[in-house]
Amino acid sequence: MNRRRHTDMIVIHCAYTKPDMDIGLEEIRRWHVEDRGWDDVGYHFVIRRDGLVEQGRDLWRMGAHEPQVNARSVAVCLVGGMGENEKPENNFTGEQWAALAFTVNFLLTMYPGSRVAGHNEFRDDKECPCFSVAKYWYGEAAA
């Protein structure tokens, strides 16, 4: 298990699931372990549709969520992000938004000065988490 030595980023993801899929950490862990062959879920936290925050990968461990920043970031995944038409959609619940704000603020107390970013900021082929994290967290217009 690789230990993360430095943390300067919090990366927001989505599970890319439809609004009626009430899944959580265990389902995502199964996808990552059985389908991808990883040793654990790639995210440090998963936020369910009802706002429940589940801890995934141990916080001290390097994530498996975005190769460019795994070694220096913590990953938070929101369940949802896919519309009924199977296209990206910002369909997160009020409970999830509240839990996301709480979780990010908690992580910022542990890792002061960390940048909060969306997965889509690192890959042109990703729309995840299906909203602009810069606009949500910093009030900035999407780049």
What's the pTM value of the predicted model, to 2 decimals? 0.94
Q: What is the mean pLDDT of the chain?
A: 95
Domains and CATH numbers, the chain: 9-138 (3.40.80.10)
One of 13, 32, 44, 65 is an active-site residue; which one? 13
Confidence of residue 140 (pLDDT cuts 50, 70, 90): confident
What confidence score (pLDDT) does residue 141 get? 60
One of 14, 77, 128, 130 is an active-site residue; which one? 128
16 labelled catalytic: no
One of 32, 44, 65, 119 is an active-site residue; which one? 119
Antiparallel, parallel or unpaired: β 53-55 and 115-118: unpaired
CA distance 18 to 125: 20
One of 14, 16, 43, 44 is an active-site residue; which one? 43
135 labelled catalytic: no
119 labelled catalytic: yes
128 labelled catalytic: yes
What confidence score (pLDDT) does residue 88 get? 96
pLDDT for residue 143 is more than 50: no
What confidence score (pLDDT) does residue 58 get? 96
* 32: Cβ contacts below 8 Å, ≥ 6 apart: 38, 40, 41, 42, 64
pLDDT digits 0-9 by tens, 99-138:
999 999 999 999 999 999 999 999 888 899 999 999 999 9
